[in-house]
Structure 1
Amino acid sequence: MSSRALRTPSSAARPVGTVTRGTTNPNRLRRMDRWIAAAHGAALRRAADPLAVDLGYGAAPWTAVELLLRLRTAAPHARVVGIEIDPARVAAARPYEREGLSFRHGGFEVPLPARPVLIRAANVLRQYDEGDVGAVWERLCARLAPDGLLVEGTCDEIGRRHVWVALGPEGPRTVTFAARLASLERPSDLAERLPKALIHRNVPGEPVHAFLRDFDRAWAAAAPYASYGARQRWIRAVRDLRADWPVVDRGTRWRQGEVTVRWEALAPRGA
């Protein structure tokens, strides 16, 4: 286990983790947020305290502000706490606090008295070693409410391509691939945005490599549907892919340029 991800604090007040680059842009995480609202909105509505955490929101608070707005379309009483390991970033975010939105200094220990129903950690683990991921996931999942969800993944700078893992208190459940289809040449273009747990496993012999290979083949076979638009081509490719891979979502999500697959089908060999 690397010492960086689970560094033992020298005092109880010292957050666990290291400072990220902090790059962020407005609307960068819209695909992930919309998926969360659709997939996890019911759990947020059921919760007595629908608390969500934007972990590692970066140098500017835009992603936390947007997460609150998007979650409230599904759960009107949701509240969001943005957590950052850099105290200067927390201080810079404080002027953006409002009803339902606050900011706090912290790291992977998630220093809140309540257990969140959602933890979103986007573009946080990219700087860590692959060997760190399991321990970070375990730590974050242990902080979740019983009906909680951890969503961890990576996207490009303007949110056109995004891949994330969804985890419950018991561990990883699914992997979601999402793209702006008009800018996608082939599904394997998403490989560059695989989360840390998978990005180094996109090699022959690993399940995620086989999945992207088969997705590219299905995409090529669906080329005649391109005349109806990239969305129809994507939908057809996912329908074909479903014959060999455990796709868990349906056409309403495929139309958004998404596909979600069970984690067990893509998990690294030996994991």
Structure 2
Amino acid sequence: MTPRRPIGEITRGTTNPNRLRRVDNWLVHAYGPLLRAAVDPLVVDLGYGATPTTAVELRARLARVRPDVRVVGVEIDPARVAAAAPAADPPWLEFRRGGFELAGLRPVIVRALNVLRQYDEPAVAGAWATVGRHLAPGGVLVDGTCDELGRLGAWLTVTAAASTTQLTLAARLATLPRPAAFAERLPKALIHRNVPGEPIHALLTALDDAWLAAAPYATFGPRGRFAAAVAATRAAGWPIVHEPRRWRLGELSLPWPVPTGGS
């Protein structure tokens, strides 16, 4: 039963067209098989913000792998739900009032970008647990943050049991000064842990050092240099998924938390 009052708080709601293109394209790549196999290909765009733009874009991108995918934008602010209504295209795209309880829905994927970053860190675990209880079997939550133009982002994949399984970093390489910049956009669960002695600090340091060492590859452009830096970081023991094509797009993923001995 859906609670009478949605669980959560109204966020700033800032959004821009194409802001979430990197995470959307990654969802197509990483979870296309999950969508194709789903009995009910339902996806929730949680906390879509002041305009429905990112929900509209999400539906269009996911439809490339599952034409009958249904996307529901869920917002806690009733004014935002009302404002989004003209963009609805039932049954493929709808908007409902709700929070971490997902308006009573049972989606296979929940995308929550730039939502929990606006909460206090202690609230993260509870939010993950609440979302997890409402996921479809085998479903996942993608919790992350990106900058206002979508050029730099990071997100965690979270299971129904509220456990993280993977961390992904993604950037527009033409504007990435160095991998240390990812620190600015870490999800709330990690940003305060970016200190010496913590795995996330060690990972970003290793990537940054590898980027500096890969300076000769700058001749081949930022894609070649970034791919070389990621390859070197992987060779040093970090369990980065071996996807050179994704590296050249400015993206890398690895299990998180890092397995013991993984770095």
Which amino acid is 2:248 matched to? R
2:5 is aligned to 14
* Residues 126-137 of structure 1: pairs in structure 2 closer than 5 A: 126-137=117-128
Checking the alignment, whether the CA contact within 8 Å between 1:50 and 1:79 is kept in structure 2 is yes
Query: How far does residue 54 in structure 1 lie from its aligned partner after superposition?
Result: 0.1
Q: Which amino acid aligns with 1:127?
A: Q
Aligned match of 2:21? 30
What aligned pairs does 1:128-207 form with structure 2 within 5 A after superposition? 128-170=119-161, 171-207=163-199
1:242-257 counterparts in 2 under 5 A?
242-243=234-235, 244-257=237-250
- Code of the residue aligned with 1:192 in structure 2: it is E
Aligned partners of 1:218, 1:161: CA distance in 2, in Å?
A: 19
Partner of 2:30: 39
Which of 230, 245, 252 aligns to 2:222? It is 230
**Structure 1 pair 249/61, CA: closer, same or farther in 2 (3 Å)?**
farther
Aligned residue pairs total: 256
Q: 1:261 corresponds to which residue?
A: 254
Q: Residue type matched to 1:167 in 2?
A: V
Structure 1: distance between partners of 2:123 and 2:165: 19
2:201 counterpart letter in structure 1: H
Trace 1:206-221 onto structure 2 (pairs within 5 A).
206-221=198-213
What is the distance in 2 between the residues matched to 1:33 and 1:200?
26
> How far did 1:205 drift?
1.1
In structure 2, the residue corresponding to 1:34 is in which secondary structure?
Answer: helix
In the aligned structure 2, how far is the partner of 1:264 from the partner of 1:13? 35
| Residues 140-186 of structure 1 deviation map (CA, whole Å, 9 limit, x = unaligned) | 12211112121010000000000000122232110000000011111
Cα deviation, 1:225-258, whole Å, max 9, x if unaligned, reads 1110100101111111112211124112112110
- SS of equivalent to 2:49: coil
Q: Partners in 1 of 2:120 and 2:254 — Cα distance?
A: 24
What 5-or-longer segments of structure 2 have no aligned partner?
none
**Structure 1 residue matching 2:193: 3-state secondary structure:** coil
Moved more, 27-36 or 169-178: 169-178
- Percent identity, aligned pairs only, is 57
* 1:45 shift after superposition: 0.9
- 1:49 to 2:40 alignment: yes
Root-mean-square deviation over aligned CA pairs: 1.4
Query: Structure 2: how far apart are the matches of 1:17 and 1:266?
Result: 32
Residue 112 of structure 1 deviates from its aligned partner by: 2.9
8 Å Cα contact 2:104-2:134 kept in structure 1:
no
- Once the two structures are superposed, residues 173-200 of structure 1 have per-residue CA deviations (whole angstroms, 9 ceiling, x without a partner) of 1000000001111101110000000001
SS, match of residue 245 in structure 1: coil
TM normalised by structure 2 equals 0.94
Shift of 1:266: 8.9
What is the rounded CA distance, in whole Å, between the counterparts of 1:240 and 1:178 in structure 2? Answer: 17
For structure 1, list consecutive stretches of 5 or more residues without a partner in the other structure: 1-10
